[in-house]
Amino acid sequence: MGHVPNPFPELLPSSVSLVSECLLPWTKSSATQVIKVYSEDNTSRAVEVPSDITARDICQLFILKNHCIDDHSWTLFEQIPHLSIERTIEDHESVIEVQSGWGMDSHCCLYFRKNYAKYEFFKKPLDFFPEHMVSISSETNGIMNHSQLIQTFLSSSSCPEIHGFLHAKEHGRKSWKKFYFVLRRSGLYFSNKGTSKEPRHLQFIAEFSDSDVYTLLSGKKVYGAPTDYGFCVKVIQCRDFQPLSVFRLQSVLTFCTDFIISLTVILNYTGLQQSRSVLPMRSISENSLVAMDFSGHKTRVIENPSEALSVAVEEGLSWRRKSCHRLSSHGSPSTSQSSMSSIAIHVAQPWFHSKLSRDEAQKLITQQGLIDGVFLVRDSQSNPRTFVLSLCHTQKIKHFQIVPVEENGELFYSLDDGHTRFTDLLQLVEFYQLNRGVLPCKLKHHCARITL
């Protein structure tokens, strides 16, 4: 299995850059402990590990044991079920230290799963900062590019100020109140007088260098939160949680929640690494998948969106004709035989999740990262003969029905009322990984579940 280079070497110590480097010392370590890790299907595995093992080491271990592709999205989560909260354990954190904070009768657990949004802050930092919510140094004239913004946040002296509205719930109370919050390097504050940021009106809430930030898994149900996008702050040496829920628009909701979590990463890494810029890295799919025209004597990249859509439709028809020819050359199987062959193909694919409900699909995609192109395919609950493509775009999850189309005794699948047809779901997914077609974006990251 090939090794994918670490896209963010600045964020990880060299001792965990390779699987072999973090596994080899285990045989020499005398202090070991047994930890239990769960996967999304709630299967678990107990492993004996050294007392100084990090979250990144654990991820590398399970990637190796389960023969997964290391695309730097596999993540270790700490989940506290009775509070319905969880958090991403940062790569450098000691897993044993995390467990040591659990009570003896605690039901806390570790989960190993994908999180495609894990490094989004470092890939697309500008997406996290709407201009109206950021106050930056006058030296920049209010304009910052990708690398400047990263450098600014990694600098101990020039952290921008983030401000906006949140709903907050006071300890011991059921009601939520809307406050104007200010996030600075020194911590999180709220104003007791409108949107005033005068020192006498700002009250300190939390300081993140000694705190952990958790997301609410069922904010509305468990905490009576006004939105589904909530988080709570816990001082590392304290068991008291302060739940917060973001106000405003959905794009801002995610911005606030994700930014707070990312800020804890930055603050912790600042202690390990001095101000060093992190180079942006496009995903593997973005680097390798482009719209191409193979109709002429020479292939070319299609840059015009309208032309790309036209070619996409023609390519789908071409694939259908080739598939029909291939089937006819092997004895022209019947519709039922062709249908069974198609079923056998897609059920083995990691992006297919069979009897998953709409709500379960939304939960799975949300857990694995609300970034453009995260998708899965599932059976339709309303129509047994159809399938559904669930896709994330602009932090919203949309569902597209895949309709079976029968023509001349052959069964095809289509997303656009039969204009573009495919002999099986595998062809359909591969096509939309290359071409956006009728979708809002190309398919980039499939939701995968593994059994430990």
Question: 294: Cβ–Cβ under 8 A, 6 or more apart, which residues?
Answer: none
Plot region of 65 (φ>0 → left; ψ -120 to 50 → alpha; else → beta):
alpha
Which distant-in-sequence residues (6+ apart) come within 8 Å of 312 by Cβ? 291, 420, 431, 435, 436, 437
- C-alpha to C-alpha distance for 249 and 276, rounded to whole angstroms: 33
Q: What is the pTM of this model?
A: 0.69
pLDDT score for 201: 94
Helix 250-272 / helix 146-154 crossing angle, nearest 10 deg: 60
The whole-angstrom distance between residue 289's C-alpha and the CA centroid of its chain comes to 20
pLDDT of residue 13: 42
pLDDT tens-digit readout, 263-277: 434 333 333 333 333
pLDDT score at 229: 78
DSSP for 367-400, please give it.
HT---TTEEEEEE-SS-TT-EEEEEEETTEEEEE
Give Dmax (Cα) for the chain.
84
Both ends of the chain: CA-CA distance in Å? 19
Q: Grade residue 310 by pLDDT with cuts at 50, 70 and 90.
A: low
HSE value, Cβ hemisphere, 13 Å, CA-based, for 32: 12
- Which comes out higher in pLDDT, residue 126 or 196? 196
pLDDT in tens, 223-245: 888 877 788 877 776 545 555 55
- Whole-angstrom distance, CA of residue 235 vs CA of residue 242: 9
Cα separation, 442 vs 374, whole angstroms: 9
Question: Mean pLDDT over residues 325-334, rounded?
Answer: 45
pLDDT tens column, 43-68? 999 999 999 999 999 999 999 998 88
Q: Which amino acid belongs to residue 175?
A: S
pLDDT of residue 399: 96
Is pLDDT at 150 greater than 90 in this prediction? no
